[in-house]
Amino acid sequence: GENVEQHPSTLSVQEGDSAVIKCTYSDSASNYFPWYKQELGKRPQLIIDIRSNVGEKKDQRIAVTLNKTAKHFSLHITETQPEDSAVYFCAASHGGATNKLIFGTGTLLAVQP
Amino acid sequence: NAGVTQTPKFQVLKTGQSMTLQCAQDMNHEYMSWYRQDPGMGLRLIHYSVGAGITDQGEVPNGYNVSRSTTEDFPLRLLSAAPSQTSVYFCASSPGQGVQETQYFGPGTRLLVL
């Protein structure tokens, strides 16, 4: 089955710096890669996703890149702000009839003011 | 719309007790799933359903049962609770229809098994 590895497990940056979180997946049939943000004590919420027919997607300060050949995808946050502090999860899915998501183990991002 | 709701918010069980975690959604979503979240292990899929009457196992199904008698409800049953089942449980739903779709999570249930 699918396996998703995520690095780093913790990341501390200064406010205004960029943050990059990387994930690799094992199943070449995966074609949907969402990123979720989870604030302390809250539920995970989707922040951005990318599908296998796209190499990069941007939404304001957030971008995701996908390298299907290498089977890895990354989340990029620019001009970080203290409210970006949270746990970020990547996930991968075959899509199709099940949309069964397999998650990475999460990255705790701390943005220091 | 209330979205995805879960009850209870917190629960303490003794080893061997049984209970049902409730999950409901009012968005007419076909796909529903249950995850458990443990420190350092991310979100692991327990069971999922692609529609009423259809369920399947995820990554960590042992010790849990599910059923999907209606589109709205997807309860998770612990038949004989064990300390290893202490976790935060999230239910999620998505429109499904055979297309990758955003999964919407419920607020979670914190379970402690003594």
3-state secondary structure chain B: CCCEEEECCEEEECCCCCEEEEEEECCCCCEEEEEEEECCCEEEEEEEEEECCEEEECCCCCCEEECCCCCCECCEEECCCCHHHCEEEEEEEECCCCCCCCCEECCCEEEEEC
Contacts of A107 in chain B (CB under 8 A): none
Q: What is the pLDDT of residue A54?
A: 81
Contacts of A49 in chain B (CB under 8 A): 100, 102
Across A36-60, average pLDDT: 92
Q: What is the pLDDT of residue B18?
A: 96
Contacts of B50 in chain A (CB under 8 A): 97-98
Contacts of B101 in chain A (CB under 8 A): 99
In single-letter form, the type of residue at position B56 comes to D
- Taking only the tens of pLDDT, chain B with its 114 residues reads 789 999 999 999 999 999 999 999 999 999 999 999 998 788 999 999 989 999 999 989 999 999 999 999 999 999 999 999 999 999 999 887 655 578 899 999 999 999
**Do A32 and B100 count as a contact with CB atoms less than 8 A apart?**
yes
Across A55-79, average pLDDT: 96
State residue B51 phi and psi, 5-degree precision: 170, 170
State residue B22 phi and psi, 5-degree precision: -95, 145
State residue A83 phi and psi, 5-degree precision: -70, -5
Q: What is the pLDDT of residue A17?
A: 97
**Do A9 and B90 count as a contact with CB atoms less than 8 A apart?**
no
Q: What CA–CA distance (Å, rounded) separates A113 from A95?
A: 39
Pairing of the two strands B10-13 and B109-113: parallel
CA of A101, closest CA in chain B: separation in Å?
8
CA-wise closest residue to A31 among A79, A85, A94: A94
CA of B14, closest CA in chain A: separation in Å?
24
DSSP bridge partners of A90: A35
**Do A99 and B90 count as a contact with CB atoms less than 8 A apart?**
no
Asked if the C-beta of B19 comes within 8 angstroms of chain A's C-beta atoms, the answer is no
Contacts of A54 in chain B (CB under 8 A): none
CA of B62, closest CA in chain A: separation in Å?
17
Q: What is the pLDDT of residue B100?
A: 59
**Closest Cβ–Cβ partner in A9, A44, A100 for B45:** A100
The vertex-B32 CA angle with B12 and A62, nearest 5°, equals: 95
Q: What is the pLDDT of residue B99?
A: 56
Q: Give the tens place of pLDDT for each residue, A2-16.
A: 899 999 999 999 999
Question: Please, which residues 57-96 of chain B have a Cβ atom closer than 8 Å to chain A?
Answer: 58-59, 90, 94, 96
